[in-house]
Structure 1
Amino acid sequence: MIELAPAPSAAIDGAIDQAVERIRARALQLGGSFTTLGDAIARAASGGKRLRPLLVAATFEACGGTPTAQPGLYPVAAAFELLHTAFVVHDDVIDHDTMRRGIPNVAGEFRLRAREQGADAAGEALLGDAAAILAGDLLLHEACRLVALADVRPAQREALLALIDDAVFVSAAGELADVEHAVANDLADPDALLAAAHDKTAVYSFTAPLCAGAVLADAPESVLTALRRAGGRLGLAFQLVDDLIGAFGSTAQAGREPGGDLREAKRTPLIGLARDSDSWTHVSDALAVAHTGPIAVRAAQRALDESGARARLLTLIDEALEEARSAAADPALPTAARSLVDELAQAVSERVP
């Protein structure tokens, strides 16, 4: 995972904890199972590298901002972590996942709760999904609330809300496209798969946090333009590396058994590139049985390697990172902001399995 240093992690953690505690307190007031939901939300929002709020803070300082002079910095940074958590909780519902980091997620917790209350399998799924959807909704609300109430100037608030708006809409569009690609009879072409990969991650994970930090530092529009370009390319590369990790990464990298995306037959850009190769029939046959076990997964990995799809995806990642560095070379960017983009590009590159 990407790590940034030095980083005001304690201040960011404090702002996130305060927001999560507000959710728990409101849930406690309403009582019953809603109190349990508040606790589940707190667990969902705990831990992690907190990349997105760190990007807000790092870009703010790289653009000349002084934390003590901007009281809205850490609440706005926290908003991007809650936005991320909301998307993760909702994504688990979409993927029918009930575990995360080896423990039950929000949906999983409430499935267990339903089981303890005597529900059948359908009832367990209904309560689990309902709880997770509501948890994600509350986190989205809290993220927007943090920005709406942050101690910033009206013009900054307007710009920040526009960034949140774009992040939510583009991410939702990417997620919908990704699911549509998964259920269609025919595999989408690589360009469509790449577009979905970009939209799912790039804006909310990179472009918006980078630009939010710049807005809080009163950076000019020329800086925002350069950061939008760099963030979009960084975000695409980050997601493509995630796709490689899902297919080829180790247990430590993927957080689960190797080849999880191959077992689940996920239609990623990697698979789209393989379809355009002369070896597609062989790859397709190997992917069709990848769910049967480790030996079949390794065979599918070899088939993807031999098709040239992995090498082509690595080239796309390198090109995206080079485009990010090129955008950061814009003379409008302060030197520290250029260094930050270069650091991020290097960190993304180092995640390649």
Structure 2
Amino acid sequence: MTATELGAELTPGPASDWVRQAIDEQLAPPPDNVPGSDEAALQQALTCATVGGKQFRPHLVESVHRLLGGRRHDAVPPVAAALELLHTAFVVHDDVIDGDDTRRGRPSAPGTFRAHAQRAGASSEAADAYALAGAVLTGDLALAGAVRAVATAPAPPATVGRLLDLLDNALRISAAGELADVRFSMGLAEPSLADVLTMEEHKTAVYSFELPLQYGAVLADADDVVVTGLGRVGRQLGLAYQLLDDVQGVFGDPERTGKSDLGDLREGKRTPLVVHARTTSAWPVVRRHLGDPDLTAAGAAEVRRALEAGGSRAFVEDLAAGYVEAATTQTAELGLPELVAWVGDMSQTLTRGAA
């Protein structure tokens, strides 16, 4: 697989019916509940936040469970929905942290609440406060829904406890990864490539790939060696996925990715693209524009040309391809031939674009 093939974007498609149904069941209020206007607004924002994206995490759970011969078919949908709700919580909170009013080509949770406040005639300051409150609370509800979905899954108590332990671990690591990302963007000290890769592993790979693969294995009653091994495979795939997401964040077409191609540069994010550029002739150009909140399309185009000329784009795409290869090798070492071909096929699809 070439870097170009690996970096090609995956076109989002509609979620599978069973995934959507599982999410809707988790979001449904009690039948006797009559929500007030504020509760209804939060409920609507939460439902909207779960729409779109590739929603591949549920399919990772289902695929591993099936390939390992699992029989807990009733437990797969709620556990899979929990992962999508966890992702929703992180996405909504991430939009708050980054100040993004657009997500997947439409208003994000903060953007939606801000627009509502503005239409009602609120001042700019009041609209900002409402956007912050609405989005934070929406993310909180998604996170609570994720925990509840796992805790009430139809599985033995020991299995549910194992799932909750993995969820707690992923939450802690992912939150720390998000904080590190913001810390690096302050520009107080330039992180090394190892620092940034660790941050991306923690922020994205752990909950988006490691956790779903492990959930499928736990539901299939796999032993600890397999669960731990699939965790390592997930981290490798997750790193490849995030590296290519970084590339798409600068070089991608917003019409296809659903997000701005200026955001990462304006926010001064220290992605592997930027860290590598620091060691090349591209750095003076990148440094001049990095972190400029008023970065123009022309300035961004200059940065892109510099990143390509200095070899940073090729470096990151090759690095991603290496992680995919490592994931395939580690799967083979687990002695599970039924998973080897699946990991190879899945990696060629899931690592082609942004989440």
Partner of 1:134: 137
Identity value in percent? 40
1:139-171 deviation per Cα after TM superposition (whole angstroms, max 9, x unaligned): 111110011111101121111101111221111
2:234 maps to what in 1?
A: 231
1:97 Cα deviation after fit: 1.3
The AA in structure 2 aligned to 1:46 is: V
| Superposed displacement of residue 222, structure 1 | 2.0
CA deviation digits over 1:30-76, x for unaligned, max 9? 4131211111111111233211111111110011123xx53211111
Match of 1:326 among 329, 340, 343: 329
Q: CA RMSD in A?
A: 2.5
Q: Is the 8 A contact 1:80 1:143 kept in 2?
A: yes
Residue 179 (str. 1) matches residue 182 (str. 2): yes
| CA shift digits 1:210-234 (9 cap, x unpaired) | 1101110111222112201110000
Q: Which amino acid aligns with 1:12?
A: V
1:124 correspondence with 2:127: yes
Q: Which residue of 2 aligns with 1:114?
A: 117
Question: What letter matches 2:250 in structure 1?
Answer: A
In the alignment, which residue of structure 1 is the partner of 2:21?
Answer: 14
Alignment partners' CA distance in 1, 2:11 and 2:163: 24
Letter in 1 for 2:253: S
Match of 1:85 among 81, 85, 88: 88
Aligned to 1:315: 318
Partner secondary structure for residue 166 of structure 1 = helix
Q: What secondary structure does 1:49 align onto? A: coil
Considering Cα pairs closer than 8 Å and 6+ residues apart, tell me whether 1 or 2 has the greater RCO. Answer: 2
Distance, in Å, in 1 between the alignment partners of 2:208 and 2:11 is 14
Q: Please, which of 177, 187, 192 is the counterpart of residue 189 of structure 1?
A: 192
Q: 1:118 to 1:253 in 2, by over 3 A?
A: closer
Q: How many residues align?
A: 346
Query: In the alignment, is residue 51 of structure 1 matched against residue 56 of structure 2?
Result: yes
Stretches (4+) displaced over 6 A: none
Q: Which amino acid aligns with 1:180?
A: R
The alignment status of 1:246 with 2:253, answered yes or no, reads no
Contact preservation (8 Å) 1:214, 1:223: yes
What are the ranges of 5 or more consecutive residues in structure 1 without an aligned counterpart? none
Q: Which residue of the partner structure matches residue 339 of structure 2?
A: 337
> Following superposition of structure 1 onto structure 2, how do residues 211-226 of structure 1 map, counting pairs within 5 Å?
211-226=214-229
CA distance in 2 between counterparts of 1:60 and 1:3 reads 25
Residue in 1 aligned with 2:42?
37
Normalised by the length of structure 1, the TM-score is 0.90
Q: Give the distance between the partners of 2:12 and 2:159, measured in 1 at CA.
A: 25
Please list every run of 5 or more consecutive structure 2 residues that lacks an aligned counterpart in the other structure: 1-8
Rounded Cα–Cα distance in structure 2 between residues aligned with 1:259 and 1:117 = 30
Q: Is the 8 A contact 2:244 2:352 kept in 1?
A: no
Once the two structures are TM-superposed, the CA of residue 2 in structure 1 deviates from its matched residue by 5.5
Contact 1:263 1:297 in 2 (8 A): no
The CA distance in 2 between the partners of 1:91 and 1:19, in whole Å, is 22
Following superposition, the deviation at residue 4 of structure 1 comes to 11
The structure carrying a bigger helix percent of its residues is 1
Deviations 1:86-127 (A, max 9, x none): 111111100111222333222222222323443211111111
